[in-house]
Amino acid sequence: MCRAASSLHPAVQTLLIALGFGRLFSLFISGFAATSQPVPFIVCKESATWTRPTTAQQTKIWNDPRYADHGAKAYEWNHEFLFVPPDSASIQYHMANEAGLWTENTFSPTCNNDKRNDEWNEAWILLHRVKRIDFEGSVYTITVEPTKKGFQSILFKRLAPKVSFRFIDVNGRLLDEVKSL
């Protein structure tokens, strides 16, 4: 093997050595690359038939003095991926009203009784279904597929104190991003 290598042109030898070092370097660097880990999640409640109320129906909420400051501009009304504090029933009630989920009961004995603390993330996924959740560094990537109707309330472990969330479709296209919760 050595005799065969020594009979090669010096330029070819140099190229082969450079390629060998390049390969070793890439293997070395890949050992330090962050790897994502799958995150199990619980579907607390879901509906395959829910739709957002019409604007005329939602006016019932917007006319209530508690919601008059936001109305149709409310974040919850204009987004499909909502994070709710798992330990506050009053904030969840308020968010459900502004999102149009007042037409559907979001309470779930599966999740609302024993996992209501800051070690958990709770999200309401409107008009999508969660396919998988991955975590890398401090970012959750939640892969969803769109639906014409329905919502999911999901719960999953918080793996770091400050985290961000990326919602992507099944083709990897970014749909929404929520920074540092």
* 111 and 23 housed in the same domain: no
* 101 and 163 housed in the same domain: yes
* 84 and 103 housed in the same domain: yes
- pTM of the entire structure? 0.77
* 50 and 6 housed in the same domain: no
**Mean pLDDT along residues 116-123:** 80
Asked if residue 114 has pLDDT above 60, the reply is no
**Mean pLDDT along residues 54-82:** 94
* 90 and 114 housed in the same domain: yes
Count how many domains the chain has: 2
* 105 and 119 housed in the same domain: yes
Q: How far apart are CA 105 and CA 93, in angstroms?
A: 10
Asked if residue 141 has pLDDT above 80, the reply is yes
Asked if residue 23 has pLDDT above 90, the reply is no
Beta bridge partners of 90: none
* 104 and 148 housed in the same domain: yes
List the structure tokens of 145.
Answer: 């597929």
* 155 and 107 housed in the same domain: yes
Largest interatomic CA distance in the chain: 88
Look at residue 75 and give its three-state secondary structure: helix
Beta strand pairing call for 42-47 and 37-38: unpaired
Range of the domain at 13: 1-33
* 119 and 165 housed in the same domain: yes
Contact 140, 110 (CB under 8 A): no
Q: Picking from 6-10, 24-28, 66-70, 133-137, which range would have the lowest pLDDT averaged per residue?
A: 24-28
Look at residue 94 and give its three-state secondary structure: helix
- For the chain, first and last CA: distance in Å? 59
| Percent of the chain surpassing pLDDT 90 | 60
Contact 161, 179 (CB under 8 A): no
Contact 158, 177 (CB under 8 A): no
* 89 and 133 housed in the same domain: yes
Q: State the pLDDT at residue 88.
A: 79
